Structure 1
Amino acid sequence: MAIIKQAQRQTLGQLIGANNPVVTVPDDSQRQYAWTKKEVDIFWADIEKFKEARESGRESASEYFIGPVVTITGESIKGRSLLDGQQRLTTSTILISAIRDTLWSMKSTEGMSSANNIQRDYIARKSGRKEPMEYFLVMSLFDRDFFRDNIQDWNEATGECPKVESPSRPSHKLILDAYSNFRAKINARLQEYLDDEDRLDYLDSLRECLIDGLVFVEIQTPSSSDANEVFETINSRGKDLSTVDLVRNFLMEKSRSDNEKSRVNDAWRSLLDGFDRREEIEKFLRHFWVSKHGDVKSHSLYSTIRKDLTGRFDKRPQEYGVGAFSAELENAAGRYAELITGSTGDAGLDASLAEVKAMSADALYPLLLSASGSFSYSALQTLLEASISYYVRWTVVGRRESTLLEENLFGVAKELAKGGSLEGVNQKILAWIPDDETFETDFKEASIPKQSQSRYLLAKIEQYLRAQHDVHEEVALGDGKVYVENIYPQKPAPGLRLEEHESLVSRLGNLTLLAGKRNANISGLSFPEKAHLYSGSALLVSSRTAVDGLWDSEKSEWKVSGIEERQAILSKMALEVWPGGGRLT
């Protein structure tokens, strides 16, 4: 059980104000700044509601409880290490800086003086001319310098931060977005007041609400292991829980030396710099674990990782430690980034990886990650082609339960990680691919409402047609240069709607590709009004696959049989585009 020294009420001003122990986000725990516009907007709305209620004079509205923070506090209490609460304290500091800068921008003596006081009392100050700057909130190494450069290192003479460092991580951009958001919201509120006195009153009231009205419960713990246990308990439910954060904290807790902690930080720096979005890091972590250990669901990923690694780390003598795991994670992150972006350097493999991305076939990545750990990229082409055919025939077109496909692919990923042969795994996948007769039947009946998947299928058929007709220009799989067109419209003109409308509109026989951007006005036209778009198209899937068979020119109506006949034509091509196991061996 965790040891808690004390839990006490603290206002925001008592947590990050001058003459209080500095709050530091330690390098061996926590995450980078992660609040998006959604969380910032909610925070602002809550502050405004609280401000209005507080000014009403009701005693019950004098304080606003914003939640617990978990700190590691030494015996001397010279400083506090913050394990949980970074997002709220960071966002509060950003809002305080926005109030400071708004006051300064008014250019009045009182406004500029108030801005200086806010900076010295709640953000940062020097105790002497030759003394170093003291920051009341110290971020972790991933955001520390950028946060100081853009929020905290404020020049009292110019009213500006240096802003020298450019945003290089997603968290940096989120910090700037939060600041800009607050400045815009404050300026919008100030437009309601006619003179500077009223504006100064509003800003002073907003400052007071934050500093004296926001209340936290600070849970002080004596050690990082105690703080981690409290942190995990608090975050066991809800959005704040992050597997990436929890795994990093766990690794720091299990580190036996500064060198091991440094290896963890190196690995996390690679994750933060290697992926554009936090969601990609979360996805990578699961795929990394699955590639070695088989299937595990996202909701139980952290508990699974912790249990497994604790058993391995605690063995005596230790054969596998934090450093080794961090090195594996860092190495895999580099390969994973190359796989999801199709930048392996192998042209053939990268083209196939573009197909995986185009149809969002994420279930293939653990297998590819596992295989790339033991084999060269060039050796993976046959495996990837078989996996794509399996995925298309089973999931995209066949609409079969994806759970079995994932179970199969994750199982062979684990097999490769344990030293299995690439050829043996490839043969298993070939055996799982639905046969030609099944695939053709599935394709003839397939309805694909998901735009990314229907565009992918049609673009691949287009590539096949171009090869057959010796046309060498490439066609994009999904970058916006072509769009999916419903030949029989989603919103047909009055009197032309088919009885089976809902079941027909997304049938593959009713879909084609056109170049450029979608024109809604054209999409709803009858066939004679847009027939020239198909017959004159440079895309062969529109000009050479019996599109005109969907319209009965004698009766001036749409033909269900035309959709079915065209889909049968496309199904024959699909057998060649996504071959079965017999032709992939």
Structure 2
Amino acid sequence: MAIIKQAARQTLGQLIGANNPAVTVPDDSQRQYAWTKKEVDIYWSDIKKFKTARDSGKDSASEYFIGPIVTITDKKVSTRSLLDGQQRLTTSTILIAAIRDALWNMGSVEGPSTANNLHRDYIARKAGRREPMEYFLVLSLFDRDFFRDYIQDWNESTGRCPGIERATRPSHKLISEAYSNFASKISAELSSYSDEEEKLDWLDGLRECLINGLVFVEIQTPTSSDANEVFETINSRGKDLSTVDLVRNFLMEKSNSDIEKQRVNDAWRVILDGFEKREEIERFLRHFWVSRHGDVKSHSLYSTIRQNLSHHFNRIPQFYGVGAFAAELESASNRYIDLINCNTGDADFDVSLSEIRSLNADALYPLLLAASEKTSYTQLQDLIDASISYYVRWTVVGRRESTLLEENIFGVAKDLTASAQIGSATRQICDWIPDDEAFHADFMEASTPKSSQSRYLLGKIEASLRSAAGVDEVVVANSSIVHVEHIYPQKPSSEWRLDEHDTWVNRIGNLTLLNGRKNQPISSLPYSQKSSIYDESVLLVTAGTGISRIWSSEMNWWRVEGITERQRDLANLALPIWPSGKHWN
């Protein structure tokens, strides 16, 4: 059971004020800044509502409880290490900085002096001209320098921060976006006032709401293990739970030396610098674990990792420690980044990876991650092509249960990590690919409401037609170059609408590709008014696959039999493009 020294009510001003111990996010136990526009907007909305209620003078609206924070404090409470609450404190500091900058830009004498006082009292100050800067909120090593450069190292003479650091990590971009969001919202509010005094009063009221009205409960614990236990309990049911952060905290807790802690930080630095979005890091961690241990759902990933690794880390003698796991994680992250960015250096393999990305076939990444640890990408071409065929025939066209495909793929990945060979893995996948008869029957009935999947299927058919005709290949998968066209329109006028509209509109036989941006008025026209567009297209899937069968010139009406006929022809073309398992046996 965790030891709690005390739970104390604290206003924001008491937590990060100049006369209180600095709040420091320890390098070994905390997440990076993670609030997106959605969370920042909710925070702003709550603050605005609170300000309106507080301005009314009602006693019931004098405070706004924003939640608990968890700190590790010494006996005299002269230092405070923050374990939980970083997102709220960081966002509050960013909003104070936006108020500071708005005050500076007022143009009056009072504005800049008030801005300087606000900065010194709640963001950072120097006790003397030769003294180092004292920061009231100190972020962890992954965000510290950028936060100081962008928010805290403010020049009282120019009213500007240096802005030297580049936003190299997802958390950096979120910090700058949060500031810009607040600055824009404050500017919009001030625009409704014409008088300078009214603007100053409004900004001062917002400052007072934050500093004296925003209330936390600070849960003080004596050790990091106590704080971790409280942290996990608080986050076990809420949105703030981050598997990536909890895993890192756990690894730090289990580290037996500063060397191991440094190894974890090194791995996390590579991971944070390598991915564009935080969601990609979360997805990588799950795929990494799945590639070694089989399927596990996102909601239970952390508990599974903790239980499994605790078994290894607690063994005496220890054969597999924190350093080894961190090294594996770092190595896998580099390969995973290459996979999702289609940047392995093998041209053919990268083309296949781009197909996976077009299909959003994320379930294939654990398999490729496991396989790429054993051999070169060149030797994995059959494996990736068979996997794509399996995914297209089973999921995209066949609309079969995707969870079964995932279980199969994840199982093969686990076997590869253990001892299986690439050849046996490929053969196993080939055995699961639906045969030609089943695929043809599925294709004949297939509808693809997702334009990305339709574009992919038609783009591959176009490439096959051009190859067979000896025509120079063109890129058709890029949405800026082509769009998916519904021959019988998605939104026809009432006089041209089929009774069974939903049955036919997304059938593959009713879809084609056209160059250029989609023109909605043209797309909604009947066939007779846009047939020349199809006839003149440079794309063979449009000009050469019998689109005219979908329109009866004699009846001046849609011919649904033509959709079926065209879909049969496309199905015949599809068979060799996404071959059955026999192709690799």
Fold in common (TM above 0.5): yes
- For the Cα contact (< 8 Å) 1:28–1:265, is it kept in 2? yes
Partner of 2:500: 500
Partner of 1:428: 428
Residue 485 of structure 1 aligns to a residue whose secondary structure is: strand
- For the Cα contact (< 8 Å) 1:386–1:581, is it kept in 2? yes
- For the Cα contact (< 8 Å) 1:355–1:477, is it kept in 2? no
Structure 1 counterpart of 2:500, which letter?
A: E
Superposed CA deviations along residues 154-212 of structure 1, whole A, max 9, x for unmatched, are: 11111111111121112112111111211222222222323222222211111111101
After TM superposition, give the deviation of residue 479 of structure 1 in Å.
Answer: 4.2
Q: Does 1:43 align with 2:24?
A: no
Partner of 2:554: 554
Partner of 2:483: 483
After TM superposition, give the deviation of residue 52 of structure 1 in Å.
Answer: 1.4
Partner of 1:92: 92
Give the Cα separation in 1 of the matches to 2:48 and 2:494. 50
TM-score by length of 2: 0.99
Superposed CA deviations along residues 301-331 of structure 1, whole A, max 9, x for unmatched, are: 0100000001111100111111110000000
Partner of 2:413: 413
Structure 2 counterpart of 1:392, which letter?
A: V
Residue 106 of structure 1 aligns to a residue whose secondary structure is: coil
After TM superposition, give the deviation of residue 108 of structure 1 in Å.
Answer: 2.1
Q: Does 1:516 align with 2:486?
A: no
After TM superposition, give the deviation of residue 215 of structure 1 in Å.
Answer: 0.3
Q: Which moved more, 1:99-108 or 1:119-128?
A: 99-108
Change over 3 Å in CA distance of 1:570–1:263 after alignment to 2:
same
After TM superposition, give the deviation of residue 493 of structure 1 in Å.
Answer: 3.2
Structure 1 counterpart of 2:56, which letter?
A: S
Superposed CA deviations along residues 8-34 of structure 1, whole A, max 9, x for unmatched, are: 100000100011010011111221111
Superposed CA deviations along residues 112-145 of structure 1, whole A, max 9, x for unmatched, are: 2211111111011111221100000001111111
Give the Cα separation in 2 of the matches to 1:153 and 1:76. 29
What pairs up with 1:221-370 in 2 under 5 angstroms?
Answer: 221-370=221-370
Give the Cα separation in 2 of the matches to 1:250 and 1:574. 49
Residue 530 of structure 2 aligns to a residue whose secondary structure is: helix
Structure 2 counterpart of 1:184, which letter?
A: S
Partner of 1:128: 128
Q: Which moved more, 1:164-173 or 1:8-17?
A: 164-173
Give the Cα separation in 1 of the matches to 2:480 and 2:287. 28
Q: Does 1:62 align with 2:68?
A: no
Partner of 2:181: 181
Q: RMSD of the TM alignment (CA)? A: 1.0
Residue 263 of structure 2 aligns to a residue whose secondary structure is: helix
Partner of 2:583: 583
Identity of aligned residues (%): 68
Query: Which ranges in structure 1 are unaligned for 5 or more consecutive residues?
Result: none
Structure 2 counterpart of 1:440, which letter?
A: H
Give the Cα separation in 2 of the matches to 1:76 and 1:383. 62
Partner of 1:543: 543
Partner of 1:401: 401
Partner of 1:372: 372
Residue 260 of structure 2 aligns to a residue whose secondary structure is: helix
- For the Cα contact (< 8 Å) 2:467–2:473, is it kept in 1? no
Structure 2 counterpart of 1:504, which letter?
A: W
Structure 2 counterpart of 1:493, which letter?
A: S
Superposed CA deviations along residues 286-305 of structure 1, whole A, max 9, x for unmatched, are: 00000000000111101000
Partner of 1:137: 137
Give the Cα separation in 2 of the matches to 1:164 and 1:389. 48
Give the Cα separation in 1 of the matches to 2:192 and 2:571. 64
Give the Cα separation in 2 of the matches to 1:14 and 1:501. 64
Partner of 1:163: 163
Q: Which moved more, 1:455-464 or 1:169-178?
A: 169-178
Superposed CA deviations along residues 515-560 of structure 1, whole A, max 9, x for unmatched, are: 1111111111111211111111111000111111100011111101
Structure 2 counterpart of 1:277, which letter?
A: K
After TM superposition, give the deviation of residue 492 of structure 1 in Å.
Answer: 2.1
Residue 495 of structure 1 aligns to a residue whose secondary structure is: helix
- For the Cα contact (< 8 Å) 1:358–1:478, is it kept in 2? no
Q: Which moved more, 1:462-471 or 1:167-176?
A: 167-176
Structure 1 counterpart of 2:62, which letter?
A: S
Structure 2 counterpart of 1:262, which letter?
A: Q
Q: Does 1:199 align with 2:199?
A: yes
- For the Cα contact (< 8 Å) 1:100–1:119, is it kept in 2? yes
- For the Cα contact (< 8 Å) 2:463–2:473, is it kept in 1? no
Partner of 2:28: 28
Structure 2 counterpart of 1:98, which letter?
A: A
Give the Cα separation in 2 of the matches to 1:468 and 1:195. 73
Partner of 1:118: 118
Give the Cα separation in 2 of the matches to 1:12 and 1:492. 58
What pairs up with 1:211-226 in 2 under 5 angstroms?
Answer: 211-226=211-226
After TM superposition, give the deviation of residue 99 of structure 1 in Å.
Answer: 1.1
Query: Which ranges in structure 2 are unaligned for 5 or more consecutive residues?
Result: none
- For the Cα contact (< 8 Å) 1:125–1:135, is it kept in 2? yes
Residue 166 of structure 1 aligns to a residue whose secondary structure is: coil
TM-score by length of 1: 0.99
Count of aligned pairs: 585
Structure 2 counterpart of 1:27, which letter?
A: D
Give the Cα separation in 1 of the matches to 2:234 and 2:478. 42
